[in-house]
A and B are shown apart, each in its own frame.
Chain A
């Protein structure tokens, strides 16, 4: 195997692909958009190159001497959709042997039940899902032209360095103000440990039959969200969780929705002014901290729906065609995650 370019290499999954490959002796090149985001990768000796997926010139240069691309870059509509088109265009021009595109089970929308790869893709109002569907459609156009593309649809990827599914829940549990959600938390939590996703990526790079196909990538131990919270809490060594009454949380979630929206807008458009205010006024600083804490500890309406959704993404196709087999169960994944959280001083 010649060198493999990873786009979005500074992100959660991209960095895991780069580090796992590098530690295993697989030649890998990390494509990054901004140097500021590369603190994690810079700890090692992996080659890093500028690789803005919106710049075809940079992509062509980054792909030089490579025979495959793992496309992990994701962002707004332009990055996710146009970026995918650019990656595939450059890969096609240079005659690369394989492109592995990281999509998501989000393409299935809010559908319930057992979901395999034949399920119709449905956007459900989330911009992320909409962009991922559009990016898959771009992949299919290139597949039709014979470009050897494999699409992977991972479920909920957790593990060290995951902010969304590991750090944020650890902070909620550590606060002592989180719990289980009764029947509202009995939906299925489709956890897949991050290096199991790396395994699926590697198998997609090697398989002769994978091009032109899409695969779900999931763990093989499907637990409920309540169980995830309970087991994570136990792994953190915290006192047992209480069952929370969901209607007050749902009410608070609705009341905080406009605060969340205004906060996001203010941080995007008036960040420097807010920072100045934070530095100059201790009252403002205290208010900002209290608001941030309240928002972090209150699930959004979408998150509450997720905790109750009865859905499972099957991995039979990946098992059969890629030889994929999840290797890290939830207990081990949580053990790694908690050790990492402690070392990084993230429990406070």
Chain B
């Protein structure tokens, strides 16, 4: 197995704690870890639900498991954190402060402040911190990045992205939707990828112009955000209720680049109205890029590779997401606010209780 830099994760698997044994662990970790020999001796699975930890451990040749990441049955060389978003910071810092490298599922943290503390812990513990922002490995995205940064087509004038699908992540705990502590919805979830890519593509950190969402005390399902950087405007829309176009469009002085968000290998380059299909790499499945990144983390822990990117590269996107949440206003929703039936019900209830 090789990572993107061509370096193999060779030799014995480092001793690894996998924290969180839900859907993310099953989708992203197990396929990578199961490729290594002697997993049973090297990995310990941790989940606050013992049955969940036991079930995943059983799939991995009956590896060890426990219910508290602070009380592992053995020393570990690295930690992989696949828990609900609001636990990422606390759990990562626990390991980083001990000098233990950490690979965390996206989003890196809930807020800019959390991410700062995580980076400080990584710095003070001299430990590697990586995050599963695997879309940075899409060959198409990388080629778009290189084209934009080369300045070959002049300045970026406009970025337009529509990113939405019905929510279907098979979350075991349902934390995405039922837990008040995670009252940040689609923008943190899907935006963790898309805002990171936008920040990576742009030459400077974008400035927030405005943000609107449909949250009513809970986790938003729809959010629109506008940024500005230099002379470029950035217009983004996210939904976890409906399928949107799921395309990006980057307009530069001399060309327009468009592509499908989930197409890792190709994009279109439009110059003077002529459309050219650009093939940046072989078609690949989404999960293969997450596996590639995790393998790079393991190879980096082994000393066989350098990290393709670290959490510090991704941190500005979380700061921007945090800022957008703090300034977001609620959409006008006349189908609720002006509905005569809801207004009448409200009056009736007020009349009954007064």
Contacts and interface: CB of A to CB of B under 8 A. Distances in A.
A335 B340 CA distance: 13
Given A35-B178, A281-B283, A43 B218 contact: yes
Contacts of A279: 262, 283-286
A40 B333 CA distance: 14
Contacts of A45: 180, 216-218
Interface residues of A, number: 45
B329 to A, nearest CB: 13
Contact of B285 (A276, A281, A340): A276
Interface string A16-54: 000111011110000000011111111111001000000
A44 B242 CA distance: 18
B345 A24 contact: yes
Contacts of A136: none
Interface in A162-193: 167
Contacts of B333: 340, 343
A43 B185 contact: yes
Interface of B: 162, 164, 166-171, 174, 176-178, 180, 185-186, 214-222, 237, 239-242, 244-245, 262, 266, 283-286, 331, 333-336, 338-342, 344-346, 348-350, 352-353
A343 B331 CA distance: 8
A202 interface: yes
A43 B345 contact: no
Nearest to B171: A35
B174 to A, nearest CB: 3
A270 interface: no
B239 A345 contact: yes
Contacts of A345: 162, 164, 237, 239, 242, 244-245
Nearest to A49: B178
A339 interface: yes
Contacts of A344: 222, 239, 241-242
Interface centre among B171, B331, B338, B340 (most CB of A within 10 A): B340
A199 B218 contact: no
B349 A43 contact: no
A327 B340 contact: yes
Contacts of A281: 283
A44 B284 CA distance: 38
Nearest to A44: B216
B335 A160 contact: yes
Given A43-B219, A198-B341, A344-B242, A35 B177 contact: yes
Contacts of A348: 162, 244-245
Contacts of B350: 25
B222 A343 contact: yes
Contact of B341 (A39, A276, A328, A335): A328
A236 to B, nearest CB: 16
Contacts of B239: 344-345
Contacts of A64: none
27 contacts: A20-B339, A20-B342, A23-B342, A24-B342, A25-B346, A35-B176, A37-B167, A40-B241, A42-B177, A42-B178, A44-B216, A45-B218, A159-B335, A195-B339, A202-B345, A276-B285, A279-B285, A282-B266, A327-B340, A327-B344, A336-B334, A339-B335, A343-B214, A343-B331, A344-B241, A345-B237, A348-B162
